[in-house]
Amino acid sequence: MLCADQNFDMAQVIKFFRLKAGELAIYYEMEDGESTSTRGIVEVCPDTHRITRFVEKPRQGETASRMASVVFYCLQKGTLQTLDSFLSSFPDTEHRVLGRYMEWLINVARVPVFGMKLPTGFQLIGQVGLADYTKWLSHYSTMKSEPRVKSITCRAYARIGIMGNPSDGYYGKTISMSIANFWAEVTISQSKSLVLVPHPLNDPTEFGSLLDLHYISRKEGYLGGLRLLQATCKKFYEFCSDKGIALSKQNFTVKYNVNIPRQVVSTQSDAIVSATLKCLMKFYNLTDDVSVTYTAPGPRRAAGSLLPRRKHQGYGGGAGYVFHSIMSGAPRKPPPHTPSGVL
């Protein structure tokens, strides 16, 4: 078995295993060119992360899932005693394989097994030949010779509320729009250690004199955008740990720039958090389905003040799009949209 990203965080896997009262199976989302008939396919409950069904090398049409299990399981000591029952149920040697055991354990024995998703791919699983090994050896040799500096930049635009408020008489619905003139931009790049770069204007650490420090602090306050970067990273890690998403073990340097006026501080904070979250999701190769469930509540918790009417900043924004409040249920994802206004 070969993991496309060989640096996933083993500590996060163990933490999730201890958190859940059951066994653990690692899975990933298959690429378009991969056939489900060569893998053990799992169906996972999105709310509890429990694997509801395991199908070993399914026939065409047997399952719609493309979540493939890999030979990576965490089993409790007591569960290993079920091996005797499995072996007695399958006397034929050809059926005595680990995939069939997991299929029996989940579908027949009904032992709770939870799934943890890796945002990466796996190769060289099952029946492979020399050509497969040669192909991937060449692939990784090429990757090793090329520079692997990974840099991602994302923007989130300022928003204005046209109508409504989640707490007023509009029944938790709002109409908002984003403004192209004003934005927050965050850049994240791979590095040896995790570094949060302070903004030279919003997070000053050097002053001409004590008088300058007093004047700037009195005018601008003490809190810049650095705390928002840190809070978003913290909440992002907590979310992935709770939702069973194993992140690759790689560090980064993140910095931000913003031209939204300080007088509209909540809009500025919202944009910084949203842009940071977008960068983290792209950096760790998280899929769109994660962004739908996380983008709306995540920045609100990280910044401590975001309201549901600001969801469109995370999604990209759009004039006239009506958003329901968090209390009314999961947000709907708007169509791709460019900033809708210019002031």
- Tens-digit pLDDT profile for residues 16-57: 888 887 899 988 888 777 788 888 899 999 888 899 999 998
* Whether residue 191 sits in one domain with residue 77: no
| CATH code of residue 319 | 3.30.230.10
Ramachandran category for residue 317: left, alpha or beta (phi over 0 → left; psi -120 to 50 → alpha): left
CATH number at residue 132: 3.90.550.10
pTM, rounded to two decimals: 0.68
Q: Per the domain annotation, does 176 fall within a domain?
A: yes
Instruction: Write the DSSP symbol of residue 245.
Output: B
Joined tokens for residue 319: 């004039």
The whole-number average pLDDT for the span 321-336 is 36
Two structure tokens written together for 276: 């940071």
Domain housing 171: 151-328
Look up residue 130 and give its DSSP letter. H
Pair of tokens at residue 266: 């909540």
How large is the average pLDDT for residues 242-247?
A: 82
Average pLDDT, the chain: 75
Quick one: pLDDT at residue 193?
Answer: 93
Maximum average pLDDT range among 64-68, 245-249, 336-340: 64-68
19 plus 45 within the same structural domain: yes
- Domain end call among 118, 145, 172: 145
Do 108 and 178 sit in the same domain of this protein?
Answer: no
- Our CA angle for 187, 332, 341, nearest 5°, is 55
178 and 126 part of one domain: no
* Residue 342: inside a domain: no
- Of 10-14, 42-46, 71-75, least confident by mean pLDDT is 10-14
**262-297 residue pLDDT tens:** 766 567 888 899 899 999 998 988 865 454 444 434
Angstrom CA distances, 138 to 37, 131, 178, 266, stand at 26, 11, 46, 50
- Give the residue ranges of DSSP H helices in the chain: 10-19, 83-89, 98-107, 130-145, 210-220, 226-242, 265-283, 288-294, 297-303, 311-315
Are residues 160 and 73 part of one domain?
A: no
One domain, residues 235 and 200? yes
Tally of domains within the chain: 2
- Same domain for 223 and 88, yes or no, is no
Together in a domain, 78 and 164: no
Residue found by looking up tokens 């069973």 in the block:
244
How many CB atoms are located within 10 Å of the residue 195 CB?
Answer: 12
Task: Report in angstroms the alpha-carbon separations of 133 from 72, 124, 146.
Answer: 20, 7, 20
Cα angle 143, 147, 148; round to 5: 75
Residue 69 shares a structural domain with residue 214: no
Q: Which of 52-66, 217-231, 313-327 has the highest mean pLDDT?
A: 52-66
Residues 104 and 139 in one domain: yes
Residue 335 inside a domain? The answer is no
Whether the per-residue pLDDT at 100 is higher than 70: the answer is yes
Predicted confidence (pLDDT) at residue 75 exceeds the cutoff of 50: yes
- Asked whether the beta carbons of 70 and 1 are under 8 A apart, the reply is yes
